[in-house]
Structure 1
Amino acid sequence: MDNGFDEDYISSLTDRVFLIKSQLEAGKLKIADHLFDGFKESFNKIRLRPDGKVDPATVDGRIRAMGAAVNHFFERDEIKKKFNIIDFQETYFRILFGNFHQFYTDLIKHNVEPYQVARVISKDKNFVEHLDQIFPDLMSHIKEFWDAAYEIGEIHLQDGDQLKANFAGDLFPSYKENAVSSTGLYIDTMILPCPILRVGRLHGVTNKEHFCFLLLKHVLTCMTYRDLALEDIQPAIVLVLPDKRDFSSDGKEYLHERSTPFIISHAQYLYDRKFESIDNLYEFSKSLTDIDKVFKELKRPDRLIFDIDWGVGGRAQLERHLADPERLKSPVLEGCPGMEVMFTCTGRMPQALAARLNAQEFQSTPYINAETSWLYYTWLMEYESLDFKVDNDSLKEFHMVNALSKGMQGGFSWLGDITLSNIVKIRRNGLMPEVRDILSSGISEVINSSPNDYNASSQKVIDNVDRAFIQHQRFIEKIKKEKLRILGMEVAPFIVNGAFGIASALINKPELAVASVALGNLGLPTLKDIKTSFKNRKVKLENYKRTATGLMFSKK
């Protein structure tokens, strides 16, 4: 012991002091001018013991704090150098394919959708029972993997300055559309959850057959992203990285604590009465034992939404929910209408908050393509509006991601047909800034006028896509109509493909058979010149196909 410090601490402190010195000498550590004199004074006071370690009594708080900070960032850099994203993503997909490859093979072989394979397999009672028995072990192993690998992805994402979006609001993106096909035109990196962790929360909650169906559907959908996740492009186009609350018990407790005010706020909105705590809400809710009692107390039914596709909020929503045999039931007092209403608060608000917390941790934007989840997210922001602050850039990205999600479901759903290979080409050719400019033109003005009008910003993006598509069509038509005129005749492309004489016979114009000589004598373009002109037109078209709009609107 040295003045109360043990040797392990002194060794660590020594490493940090020398790390500060090495980072300064390498030019990697910058100290603000107004802090430099104080730092220099503190650093010059440090003395070494005879064994080469620092004397801890000579290291003041300024140097200790700086050493901790420098060491933190140094370790992050070392992790990024040692472990790249592709390596741990490859390991993750190896786990998925190691356990589910036979089902994925069926998917590809028969050219069917993930839900179709999942539906067939979930009807096999023997397999359903087998999955139910082995799933706890699978869940345990996947949690161990993320315990070890999560920090790698987290550091790469947090330190990256690319535009990022984290999928939220549902278990996993729909099999009907590849999330990258829409957001990949604006966002650099799409962050996807781990479907095993997401669906795993339902094990033992929903019935075994339905659980089997959900797990296989979402795992198979995730497996379709493998090639994109392993594409050697920086920053990554897509990255599977779960919300750490999906595998950390501490994270779940933290989320529950943080979401309590929003759970209560939503209940207070519905019933127009104050609740002191979750326990107070629980006691009130369990007393509402039938639908009539609920609606006697419910003052604002517009936000009683189980599924936006069921229509406006209110009685019809609750009745349909209670009649749905596959609904996610309240974990207590199942079938009690009051508890089912409370369950919308305790289920939806933590989900919405998790999306925002995840976005904050990754410095990303929530991508919520489930309309019901989107509603609850906007209500969350409303309930916390006194404390919730967002800078202009983040608000713009939020509007853009929402607009692309909505547009894919309606305004320009055809854009979802853009091939993933074209997304990759856009990235490799450095065309993302141009695509972003096309999509986001005028968005800032719309947001400044109406920050919470997401429909207006969505319509603006749709208008931008429409305008770009019209310009695209005009260019293609112009190129197609470009023709040369020789002796008063339009020359079609087939003429310059070695068939000039044949064409002249077919159209009864024998004078064209000697065109190569005649044109030269007249001082007009020769066949070689004509070929060059058509070649230039072809080159112009091929070059255009490699532009941002050419790739956006190409279906090949």
Structure 2
Amino acid sequence: MAAESNDETEAEMQWRLNVLKLMAEEGKIHISEHLWQETKESLEKIRYRPNGTIDLDTVDGRIRSMALMAAHVHEREQAKQAISLFDISSYYFETIEKNLGFLKKEADDRGLNAYEFASLAIRSQEFVDDVSDNAPRIIEFLESFWKDVADSAYYHLQDLRGTKGVFGGDLFPSHKHNISSSLSLYIDTIVLSDPFLHSRPIFQHAEPANKAFLLVKHALNVLQYKNLAEADVGVPIVTLVPFKSTIDADENEFLQSVAAADALKHASRLFGRTFTEETELWEFVEPLNTPDQVVSSLVEPSRLLFDTEWTEDLESQIRRSIETDWSGTFGSALDAGAMVAIQCFGRMGQATDLLFKSRYLGGVPIVDAPTSWEYFNWKLEYNSAVEPESDVHLHMVKGLQHASTSDEKWLGNIPPEAIIEMRRSGAFQEIRSVLSQGVDELSQANPNNFFRASDQIVENIRDAFEKHTKEVQSLRRKTVKFAGHDIGTMLVAGAIDIASIVTGTPTFGAASFCVNQFIDVPKLRQIPARFRELKGAHKELKKSPIGLLFRHRSG
């Protein structure tokens, strides 16, 4: 076995060195001038064996390191060339649609959202039996699919130009809204995770009705992003890729070790004492059997958060969490202290996973769920985990999320087709510039005040809308009288057909009449120079980036 291992090691090194040689010949290796002399000396030491292979004893550490990096770059390029990011998304959505697309059609016909339709569907035992039996096959297929293409997707995303937002903190964005509606006004590409793959433990152990409910809800949620993911706009608006820890055991092990350290920091804040080992925390919570014992031991009770929407006293919340979130999970009743410890590990693991994925893909974290956001924010506090240059992106993401649920709710209702139109028309860059004015300065002055960023974004939106409105009003004031009608007002209202002016037979919407009764065609063809200029200005205003954005503004 040792001999085989040595043979494999030598063969791997020979391959790496050959890759290095090939990349050097193709001009893909660039060595800094101050390193060239030492590198040259290392290269000159290399000798070949009579059989034409490299004598590895003559290869020093510098060249071995260069060969390792060359092999890595080569493998990345091979993986990227094997399949495009667009093809990965298309194949994924095609799979979901072919197997579960009938559910979306039925839900759309009934006017129900994902949660409502899933709740209705599982009332049929026949449906539950059928779906729960087939769920494992779908999960198995997706697991195999991602094992084949995940690395390619990761490499494509790492090399993708533009800003990237990486979703986490939950299995998938809320069914109540399409997260891209507001965030795609600023973020180039939103990276979502495959909720089916991340739900494997549930599909393996849950009751049939729960499996069916989750499968239906995931299918409807995922398919609302299909058009955005498949839009041919250059840089993808939305794409999916699983968390690396889901398909890589080593990554998951490392994640758990980092998350454990954060969990101990969080527990230390909760109980006002330092925990340096997991055993210390478990020993401390062991005697805390009841909710009142936990509450009396807390020093920072505000950091024991179950759900931002729960309003009852903390003892009641602990009891509610045990009964609703952990009932039956461990086969017996869970003590309050143990539940709190598990909560620390679970929540910090979730936040750490998102931060790892964001850094790995070079993106800014996106957290949609308010409770998950609080834990993620604590994670940032414990680790000082966000790079300064990422601050403005994080502030913009949180600001847009808050604005779309409070002051400017219409931002959360922009349809996918409108987002695609803005990208295709080239409006995206200007809209992003308008929305982000002043946010960079705010993020630097107060890195933790995300609500101030929201206020600035709302102010930017309202300033832009006021300016846009004034431009429209300016067009209205440019009066062109034609046959006794104010064309300036009518064209702003969209009542005139420009094609009819060119052909000499204009129509005026409800006030349609034959212009030839008042003015002959030759004169008609002579007058529209100023009109066309005015009409063109209005059309351009409607097509302008801000015009496209405010087309979807309500109220």
Superposition TM-score tier, normalisation by shorter sequence = 0.7 to 0.9
- Deviation of 1:326 (Å): 6.2
User: Residues 420, 102 of structure 1: CA spacing in aligned structure 2 closer, same or farther, 3 A cutoff?
Assistant: closer
- Deviation of 1:321 (Å): 3.4
User: Residues 410, 42 of structure 1: CA spacing in aligned structure 2 closer, same or farther, 3 A cutoff?
Assistant: same
- Equivalent residues in 2 for 1:187-206, closer than 5 Å: 187-203=187-203
Task: Work out whether 1:123 is the aligned partner of 2:120.
Answer: no
Q: What TM-score do the two structures reach when normalised by structure 2?
A: 0.87
**Distance in 2 separating the partners of 1:246 and 1:501:** 63
- Equivalent residues in 2 for 1:86-485, closer than 5 Å: 86-203=86-203, 207-311=207-311, 314-322=314-322, 325=324, 331=330, 334-385=333-384, 388=385, 390-485=386-481
User: Residues 7, 297 of structure 1: CA spacing in aligned structure 2 closer, same or farther, 3 A cutoff?
Assistant: closer
- Deviation of 1:150 (Å): 0.8
The answer to which of 532-541 and 180-189 deviates more is 532-541
- Deviation of 1:173 (Å): 0.9
- Deviation of 1:141 (Å): 2.9
User: Residues 112, 489 of structure 1: CA spacing in aligned structure 2 closer, same or farther, 3 A cutoff?
Assistant: closer
CA contact (8 A) 1:402 1:458 kept: yes
Give the one of 518, 536, 541 matched to 2:538.
Answer: 541
Deviations 1:185-223 (A, max 9, x none): 111111111111223333466554344323311222102
Amino acid at match of 1:545: K
Amino acid at match of 1:398: L
**Distance in 1 separating the partners of 2:296 and 2:259:** 27
SS in 2 for 1:234: coil
- Deviation of 1:350 (Å): 0.8
**Distance in 2 separating the partners of 1:263 and 1:6:** 42
CA contact (8 A) 1:288 1:337 kept: yes
The answer to which of 312-321 and 181-190 deviates more is 312-321
**Distance in 1 separating the partners of 2:527 and 2:326:** 69
Aligned CA-pair RMSD: 3.3
Amino acid at match of 1:528: R
Amino acid at match of 1:544: L
Task: Work out whether 1:550 is the aligned partner of 2:553.
Answer: no
Task: Work out whether 1:513 is the aligned partner of 2:518.
Answer: yes
The answer to which of 14-23 and 405-414 deviates more is 14-23
**Distance in 1 separating the partners of 2:507 and 2:431:** 45
**Distance in 1 separating the partners of 2:483 and 2:420:** 46
**Distance in 1 separating the partners of 2:126 and 2:483:** 79
Structure 2: any 5+ residue segments left out of the alignment? none
The answer to which of 14-23 and 375-384 deviates more is 14-23
**Distance in 2 separating the partners of 1:129 and 1:279:** 43
The answer to which of 312-321 and 220-229 deviates more is 312-321
Structure 1: any 5+ residue segments left out of the alignment? 518-525
State the aligned residue count: 538
Amino acid at match of 2:284: F
**Distance in 2 separating the partners of 1:63 and 1:336:** 57
The answer to which of 293-302 and 373-382 deviates more is 293-302
CA contact (8 A) 1:150 1:241 kept: yes
User: Residues 50, 6 of structure 1: CA spacing in aligned structure 2 closer, same or farther, 3 A cutoff?
Assistant: farther
SS in 1 for 2:309: helix
- Deviation of 1:305 (Å): 1.3
Amino acid at match of 1:321: S
Amino acid at match of 1:236: P
The answer to which of 427-436 and 312-321 deviates more is 312-321
Over the matched positions of the two proteins, sequence identity in percent amounts to 29
CA contact (8 A) 2:243 2:357 kept: yes
CA contact (8 A) 2:135 2:215 kept: no
The answer to which of 302-311 and 204-213 deviates more is 204-213
CA contact (8 A) 1:369 1:406 kept: no
Amino acid at match of 1:461: I
CA contact (8 A) 1:23 1:29 kept: yes
**Distance in 2 separating the partners of 1:513 and 1:438:** 47
**Distance in 1 separating the partners of 2:52 and 2:543:** 61
The residue aligned with 2:37 is 37
Amino acid at match of 2:176: K
The residue aligned with 1:522 is none
SS in 1 for 2:190: strand
**Distance in 2 separating the partners of 1:70 and 1:501:** 68
- Deviation of 1:41 (Å): 2.2
**Distance in 2 separating the partners of 1:416 and 1:355:** 23
Deviations 1:299-330 (A, max 9, x none): 2211221111124873453354356x466776
The residue aligned with 1:60 is 60
Amino acid at match of 1:437: S
SS in 2 for 1:239: strand
Amino acid at match of 1:357: F
Amino acid at match of 1:127: F
CA contact (8 A) 2:366 2:397 kept: yes
Q: What TM-score do the two structures reach when normalised by structure 1?
A: 0.87
User: Residues 218, 489 of structure 1: CA spacing in aligned structure 2 closer, same or farther, 3 A cutoff?
Assistant: closer
Deviations 1:202-246 (A, max 9, x none): 346655434432331122210222222222333221111011222
User: Residues 126, 465 of structure 1: CA spacing in aligned structure 2 closer, same or farther, 3 A cutoff?
Assistant: same
- Deviation of 1:416 (Å): 2.3
CA contact (8 A) 2:132 2:209 kept: no
- Deviation of 1:96 (Å): 1.6
- Deviation of 1:489 (Å): 8.2
User: Residues 88, 545 of structure 1: CA spacing in aligned structure 2 closer, same or farther, 3 A cutoff?
Assistant: same
CA contact (8 A) 2:189 2:237 kept: yes
SS in 2 for 1:288: coil
